[in-house]
Amino acid sequence: MPETVSSSLRAVERDIADACRQCGRDPASVKLVAVTKTAPDTAIEEAIGLGQRRFGENRVQEAKGKYPALKVRDPDLELHLIGPLQTNKVRDAVALFDVIETLDRPKLAAALAEEIARSGRRPRLLVQVNTGEEPQKAGLLPLETEAFVAQCRDRHGLAIEGLMCIPPLEEEPSLHFALLAKLAARLGLKQLSMGMSGDFDQAIAFGATYVRIGTAIFGARSTATDQD
């Protein structure tokens, strides 16, 4: 890694502020989720030392190995789950995460509602939308999203704060950001989690409130851990 976490984190913060200025948004309206999957603990601690408080992990198990100790030291850390959640990991996920961005099916909504009632812990929830309608990708189809959000609220008592998407690798991401923003506006949802290292400036132009950025802060990962 040629750059330090310090210089790359500051550069990303600057780029976010620039992107906001270019589309007339308040930089405070865009929150950086620093994605730490595969990042070494030393890099995470460096980011915490620089004032970063919001982090994202895509695997419950990996997060469970790193974050409980960090949260004891810094109780104001806000941890986001950004990868798929199996129902048998719901108990761990509700205990550890402050925001679960990947609610994507009725069975998971039921399991989350049950665990929230049992534990009294209430992570904030985003619904993942498969904007590219890719068969291998998690998330609600755009046309199913409205009914699912209503079902979460009415049947399970789950308040949904917003929507999240991961655009298809080979497509122009802004079409997907525009679609997600339109859906969220129609459903009256405030949070939009979209934009990663390569496209967060476009996501901000389309209204992202959370950008999830890993590589641009912590350097490249080995690709094997990325997509599963």
Ligand X SMILES: *Cc1c(COP(=O)(O)O)cnc(C)c1O
Q: Where along the sequence are the contacts to ligand X (CB under 6 A)?
A: 35, 37, 58, 82-83, 166, 196-198, 212-216
What is the DSSP-derived secondary structure letter of residue 158? P
Q: How far is the CB of 155 from ligand X (least distance, A)?
A: 27
Q: How far is the CB of 214 from ligand X (least distance, A)?
A: 3
For ligand X, which is the closer residue by CB, 73 or 193?
193
For ligand X, which is the closer residue by CB, 71 or 137?
137
- Which regions of 123-224 does DSSP assign to beta strands (E)? 124-128, 160-164, 191-193, 210-213
For ligand X, which is the closer residue by CB, 111 or 166?
166
SS3 label, residue 121? coil
- How many whole angstroms separate alpha carbon 106 and alpha carbon 129? 14
- How many whole angstroms separate alpha carbon 94 and alpha carbon 97? 6
For ligand X, which is the closer residue by CB, 49 or 198?
198
Q: How far is the CB of 49 from ligand X (least distance, A)?
A: 21
Determine the residue with CB nearest ligand X: 214
C-beta atoms surrounding 176 within 10 Å: 24
